[in-house]
Structure formats: structure tokens, C-alpha cells
């Protein structure tokens, strides 16, 4: 019995345990399923191929299958094993060690009839999981190509050196898809160097709680190696232009990256040292089909396209923008609304019941799948933009409030700042853009905005494969630790219930009660869910729901008030404003 209460087994051949004595279950999840990124891919409805070297007790298989079933995402799982355990040995583990009941039962039944002659290959298809087990030495087996993750989980190099040779590790690297990862408990220097020599980026990462101090993570670089964006006409370059951006939410971060790509020298100032304001929401939907009519404006459709294009560029640079273009499910309130939505171009109608809704939501009257939609882990998105901006020479000035502006004779602006470390100072810029959202502007010029408060409940558990938009929205939480949640557990966010103030915004109980009507197997009462945390924030809205992009004075601009469209429209609007500047509209 390991330290986390989950049992493991010891190999008679090698004299080593199949899992860590400090926690069999936690090691499988932390090192392999979550650590490799497989759990996040499956939760984002991205079909995934896993290769495991050393199936052993099949814990990694079971944990991976559990996520695939929970999110109804296709998983191809290929395993090399020359010493396959028997069905009784697998069955001796706790009941959920081999995944959901349907998968566990089928696996144990199949195992009892499998031939264990070396060189034999067995397949099993259950729900979204396709399993292939090769009873062969990895050195002689036929390897699949385009693998998204490799679980390097054989016995240690001391007792099983043939699995850790430079040849085998080189094959691991060469069979990964671009962006594919390797996860292992083994951090020996020789292993790390072999993977690095094969072209992978290798890191030592913190091990599971109570277990090994460090574990191995490696990644094959994506085919794209530079951060790029839509080309700007070189004749309209901003090279030599100094731009100050006040506000580090999604508006400010997007504008900073777009401006640095055009050659500008950019500094981003923010009074906080984190992701304050509405941009710190735990999860954001990218959904161009909005409102009861479910219409999508040309700008919203174009905004979604630019958002996903930015995500591809950032990923190609080796950054993780936390972008998940899974589509978004909208359930209709009635048959009339469903018929109206069925005519929306770019959306896929479904239903009514008994036709199932995509992602296993409940939609009695039918609805539509917004194929251009998805969800964003806001923390990762903002960090990726900050890193991409820095790669182009941008400066970051957190915890540095801007207290005032003063014109400079001959053009430009003095920016009065009050840094906690450097004290008050005055910097000079050609352009200043205020991306303040609903934050108090103080002495800075501003446009009048309406504050709209909202609540997001953070709940432990899995959601169906695609996020939901409607009276409330529901999406996975991609960075739970940022909100004080256990990073080893799955979490989802339920948002909505807007009001004029935080006190007026709907509470968590009301949000969950609304969500329960869209889940076929939801708890009968919202209080059966455990709300572990509640996020509250205030966003800005202008006179209409369109973003506010206006010049307040020569060289001073307002950019923001996206009214809940920040992660949908900021990329597009930032590119548009930078192009206006490049044309001389300062």
C-alpha cells in the first residue's frame, strides 16, 4: 500500500515496485496524465494519441481513459509491454484504478482471453478509447508516428537499462508530433541529455506531493519557431515610436503585442502586480454567436478568427496560450428559438431530444454548436502575450500606478508614475493608450463607462466536452492553482448573474441551479455541488456593446470597455488600432 492509500505491486522479474511507494495514484496523475498535458488536451475535446513504454499496472491507462470518458474525447492509447500482468493482478487494485466501470469491465474481460505470446498485438475499443497493446520489446516494435504524449514509465535504468538507451530515447523524440511531450519519473542526467540531443526541450519539474522532488518533462518544438502575426506594410512601420500602455488586462496585453510586432518600443504599466479586473476571470468563452437571437456580427466572427490565429502563433513560438477551440454549445429555450438558430451560418444545429447535444449537454429543444467558438485559460493567455511582447523588446512595469499625463512641447507626453521600488518618476512617450476597463481613472483622461459586476463559481468536477453558453456559461478552469484550488483535481467555472454592483450580482447557488437544467445527470439541488471558491469582478461597458476605441487628445487613446467580449475581440481591435497608428492617425 502506497502513502496515498492506493495499492501497487512489485515486479518479481525486476524486484521494483510498479509505482512510487509515496503514492501510486498521485504519481500516475501528477507525472503522466496531467504532467504531460494529456488531461488538458482531452478536457479541451482534442483527440489525443498516447504511447506508453511500460504498461505495468495500467494505472496511467485508467487515469487517461477516465478523462477521455468524462469529456467524450477520442483517445488512442498504444502501449509496449513484454511482461503483461494478468487480469487478477489488475483487478486487485482499487476499482477506479483502471478507469470508468465500462472500460474497466471490458479491459478485464478482454485480458482473460488474450494470448501472451511475444510479438502478439491486442486491440480494444470502448467508448472514446482505442487501446493497442504490443507484447514486444520497445526496441523491436513498430512505433506509431505523430504521438501527442509519451509516458516513459519502464522500470529504472538500473534494472531495465535496455529501455533507456540513446537509441530508444531517440525514437521517442522522432515519433512525437510537433509540440508533443514526454513525461517520466526518471530525471537522470544521461536520460535528459539523450532527449536534448534528440532535439527536445527538457525540464525538471516539481514532483507529486509527498513523492519525488523532481520529475522529467520534455517537449518537441512546434514546426513554427517564431512569433508572427498578420503582416503590416513595412512602409507603415512604427519603428522608433515609444508607446505607453496603461492597464495590463487583455486589452492592454493585446495592444502591446500588436504594437511591438509593428516595431514600436512599448512599456505596459499596471497598478497591480497580477491579473486584476475582469481579465482575471477564471475562464473566458470565445463565442461570436451572442444574445437570444444568436446572431454573429462580422466583427465578432473576424475577432474569433484572429483570436485562434494568435493562439496558433503563440503556440508555434513554444508558448502556452491556454486556448481551446473546442466549439461552444448553446441550448435553445424553445423550438422557435432553435429554428431561428438553425439558419445561422457557421453554426451547426442539433436536436431536439432524443437527439443528443454535442458534448453530452441536455438541450430538450435542440440548439447549435458554435464551431468557431471555444474557451481560454485567461491566466495562460495573458502570460503568453506578456512573454511574446518581451521577446519583441517590450517592457513590463507591474505595481507602477500612472498618476498623470502632461503634454511635451513639440509633441509627446510625460507619463507620471509612482513605482513602489523606484518611487515617483516621469517618462516620455509618443503615444499613450489607456486600457483601464472599469478601474477608477483618477486624474487620467477617460471615457464614461458603465460597470457591470459578475460572479463565477468554481466547482470541483468534470464538465461535458464542450463549454456551454446561455443564461449562464460553464467552462473548465485551466489554472486552478491561481485561484487557490488543488491543481491535481479537475475544476469548472460557472459564470453569469450580472448586476450593477458586486452586491447585486447573482450568487453561486443561483448559477448552479441554472446550470443543473442543462446537465442530464446533474445533482437534484444546486447545494449538492461543492463551491470551493467564488470569483467576483467588474467589467466595463460603453454606450453600446461594441469596444470603445477613441482618441481623447493628440497622442492619447482610450482602448477598452469590451463589454464581455475582451477575449473575443481584443486581438482584432488591437491590430486595427496599430494599423491606424502606422498610417499616421496618432
DSSP-derived secondary structure letter, 66: H
- CA 370, CA 425: separation in Å to the nearest integer? 49
**pLDDT for residue 498:** 64
Query: Do 127 and 232 reside in the same domain of the chain?
Result: no
Query: Do 75 and 179 reside in the same domain of the chain?
Result: yes
Task: Kindly give the interhelix angle for 298-316 and 378-391, rounded to the nearest 10 degrees.
Answer: 70
* Cα first-last separation, the chain: 68
Q: How far is CA 568 from the centre of its chain?
A: 15
Question: Is 373 within a domain?
Answer: no
- CA 26, CA 523: separation in Å to the nearest integer? 27
Query: Do 194 and 265 reside in the same domain of the chain?
Result: no
CATH code for position 68: 3.40.50.150
Count the Cβ atoms, other than its own, within 10 Å of residue 521.
6
Give the residue among 383, 378, 412 at the shortest CA–CA distance from 268. 383
Q: At 187, which helix (H) or strand (E)?
A: none
Query: Do 109 and 172 reside in the same domain of the chain?
Result: yes
pTM attached to this predicted model: 0.66
Question: Is 524 within a domain?
Answer: no
Query: Do 204 and 243 reside in the same domain of the chain?
Result: no
Query: Do 197 and 273 reside in the same domain of the chain?
Result: no
Residue for grid cell 449537454: 361
Question: Is 527 within a domain?
Answer: no
Query: Do 198 and 256 reside in the same domain of the chain?
Result: no
DSSP string for residues in 138-169: TTTSPPPSSEEEEEE--S-TTT-GGGGSHHHH
Supply φ then ψ for residue 212, to 5 degrees.
-60, 145
Supply φ then ψ for residue 471, to 5 degrees.
-60, -35
Output the CA–CA distances (angstroms, integers) from residue 506 to 79, 468, 502, 514, 518, in the order listed: 48, 18, 9, 11, 18
Question: Is 248 within a domain?
Answer: yes
Query: Are 8 and 21 spatial neighbours (Cβ–Cβ below 8 Å)?
Result: yes
Q: What residue numbers bound the domain in which 438 lies?
A: 227-297+378-447+552-586
Give the residue among 142, 131, 147 at the shortest CA–CA distance from 48. 147
CA dihedral (199, 133, 93, 486) positive or negative: positive
Give CA angle at 474 (280, 331), nearest 5°.
Answer: 140
C-alpha cell recorded at residue 523: 445533482
Rg of the chain taking only CA atoms, in angstroms: 26
Question: Is 327 within a domain?
Answer: no
Query: Do 282 and 198 reside in the same domain of the chain?
Result: no
Question: Is 185 within a domain?
Answer: yes
Final residue belonging to a domain, choices 219, 250, 284: 219
Count the Cβ atoms, other than its own, within 10 Å of residue 21.
13
CA dihedral (327, 333, 339, 344) positive or negative: negative
Question: Is 372 within a domain?
Answer: no
Question: Is 476 within a domain?
Answer: no
Q: How far is CA 71 from the centre of its chain?
A: 15
Output the CA–CA distances (angstroms, integers) from residue 147 to 48, 207, 265, 425, in the order listed: 8, 24, 40, 53
Query: Are 491 and 575 spatial neighbours (Cβ–Cβ below 8 Å)?
Result: no
Output the CA–CA distances (angstroms, integers) from residue 259 to 304, 312, 323, 328, 543, in the order listed: 20, 18, 22, 31, 27
Query: Do 275 and 201 reside in the same domain of the chain?
Result: no
**pLDDT for residue 558:** 93
How many domains is the chain partitioned into structurally?
2
Query: Do 61 and 174 reside in the same domain of the chain?
Result: yes
Final residue belonging to a domain, choices 182, 203, 219: 219
- CA 538, CA 565: separation in Å to the nearest integer? 13
Query: Do 266 and 387 reside in the same domain of the chain?
Result: yes
Give the residue among 93, 22, 31 at the shortest CA–CA distance from 57. 93
CATH code for position 410: 3.50.50.60
Query: Do 144 and 290 reside in the same domain of the chain?
Result: no
**pLDDT for residue 360:** 73
Final residue belonging to a domain, choices 196, 219, 242: 219
pLDDT under 50: residue ranges of the chain: 1-5, 224-236, 523-527
Amino acid at each position: 500500500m502506497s502513502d496515498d492509500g492506493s495499492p501497487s505491486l512489485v515486479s518479481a522479474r525486476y524486484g521494483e515496485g510498479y509505482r512510487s511507494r509515496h503514492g501510486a495514484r498521485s504519481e500516475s496523475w501528477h507525472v503522466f496524465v496531467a504532467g504531460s498535458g494529456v488531461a488538458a488536451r482531452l478536457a479541451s475535446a482534442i483527440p489525443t494519441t498516447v504511447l506508453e513504454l511500460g504498461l505495468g499496472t495500467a494505472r496511467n491507462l485508467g487515469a487517461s481513459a477516465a478523462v477521455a470518458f468524462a469529456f467524450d474525447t477520442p483517445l488512442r492509447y498504444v502501449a509496449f509491454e513484454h511482461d503483461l500482468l494478468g487480469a487478477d493482478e489488475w483487478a486487485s487494485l482499487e476499482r477506479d484504478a483502471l478507469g470508468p466501470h465500462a472500460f474497466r469491465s471490458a479491459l478485464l474481460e478482454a485480458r482473460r482471453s488474450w494470448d501472451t505470446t511475444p510479438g502478439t498485438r491486442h486491440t480494444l475499443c470502448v467508448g472514446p478509447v482505442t487501446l493497442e497493446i504490443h507484447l514486444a520489446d520497445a526496441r523491436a516494435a513498430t512505433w506509431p508516428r505523430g504521438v501527442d504524449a509519451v509516458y516513459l514509465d519502464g522500470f529504472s535504468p538500473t534494472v531495465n537499462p535496455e529501455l533507456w538507451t540513446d537509441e530508444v530515447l531517440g525514437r521517442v523524440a522522432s515519433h512525437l508530433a510537433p509540440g508533443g511531450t514526454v513525461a517520466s519519473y526518471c530525471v537522470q542526467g544521461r536520460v535528459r541529455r539523450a532527449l536534448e540531443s534528440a532535439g527536445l526541450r527538457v525540464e525538471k519539474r516539481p514532483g507529486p506531493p509527498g513523492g519525488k522532488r523532481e520529475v522529467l518533462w520534455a517537449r518537441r518544438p512546434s514546426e513554427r519557431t517564431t512569433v508572427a502575426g498578420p503582416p503590416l506594410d513595412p512602409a507603415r512601420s512604427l519603428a522608433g515610436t515609444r508607446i505607453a500602455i496603461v492597464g495590463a488586462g487583455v486589452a492592454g496585453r493585446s495592444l502591446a503585442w500588436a504594437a511591438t510586432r509593428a516595431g514600436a518600443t512599448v512599456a505596459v504599466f499596471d497598478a497591480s502586480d497580477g491579473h486584476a479586473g475582469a481579465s482575471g476571470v477564471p475562464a473566458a468563452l470565445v463565442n461570436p454567436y451572442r444574445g437570444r437571437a444568436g446572431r454573429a456580427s462580422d466583427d465578432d466572427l473576424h475577432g474569433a478568427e484572429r483570436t485562434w490565429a494568435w493562439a496558433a502563433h503563440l503556440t508555434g513560438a513554444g508558448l502556452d496560450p491556454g486556448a481551446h477551440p473546442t466549439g461552444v454549445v448553446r441550448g435553445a429555450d424553445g423550438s422557435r428559438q432553435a429554428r431561428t438558430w438553425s439558419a445561422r451560418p457557421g453554426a451547426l444545429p442539433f436536436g431536439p431530444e432524443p437527439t443528443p447535444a454535442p458534448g453530452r449537454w441536455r438541450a430538450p429543444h435542440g440548439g447549435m454548436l458554435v464551431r468557431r467558438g471555444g474557451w481560454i485559460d485567461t491566466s495562460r493567455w495573458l502570460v503568453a502575450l506578456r512573454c511574446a511582447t518581451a521577446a519583441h523588446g517590450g517592457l513590463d512595469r507591474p505595481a507602477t500606478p500612472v498618476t498623470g499625463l502632461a503634454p511635451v512641447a513639440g509633441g509627446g507626453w510625460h507619463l507620471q508614475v509612482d513605482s513602489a521600488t523606484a518611487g515617483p518618476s516621469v517618462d516620455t512617450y509618443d503615444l499613450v493608450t489607456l486600457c483601464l476597463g472599469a478601474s477608477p481613472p483618477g486624474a487620467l483622461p477617460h471615457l464614461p463607462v458603465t460597470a457591470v459586476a459578475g460572479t463565477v463559481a468554481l466547482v470541483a468536477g468534470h464538465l461535458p466536452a464542450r463549454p456551454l453558453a446561455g443564461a449562464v456559461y460553464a467552462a473548465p478552469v485551466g489554472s486552478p492553482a491561481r485561484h487557490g484550488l488543488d491543481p491535481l483535481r479537475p475544476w469548472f467555472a460557472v459564470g453569469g448573474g450580472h448586476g450593477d454592483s458586486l452586491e447585486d450580482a447573482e450568487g453561486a447557488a443561483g448559477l448552479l441551479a441554472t446550470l443543473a437544467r442543462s446537465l442530464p445527470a446533474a445533482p437534484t439541488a444546486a447545494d449538492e455541488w461543492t463551491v470551493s471558491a467564488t470569483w467576483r469582478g467588474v467589467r466595463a461597458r460603453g454606450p453600446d456593446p461594441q469596444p470603445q476605441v477613441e482618441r481623447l487628445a493628440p497622442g492619447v487613446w482610450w482602448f477598452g470597455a469590451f463589454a464581455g467580449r475582451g477575449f473575443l475581440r481584443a486581438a482584432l481591435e488591437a491590430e486595427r488600432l496599430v494599423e491606424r497608428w502606422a498610417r499616421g492617425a496618432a
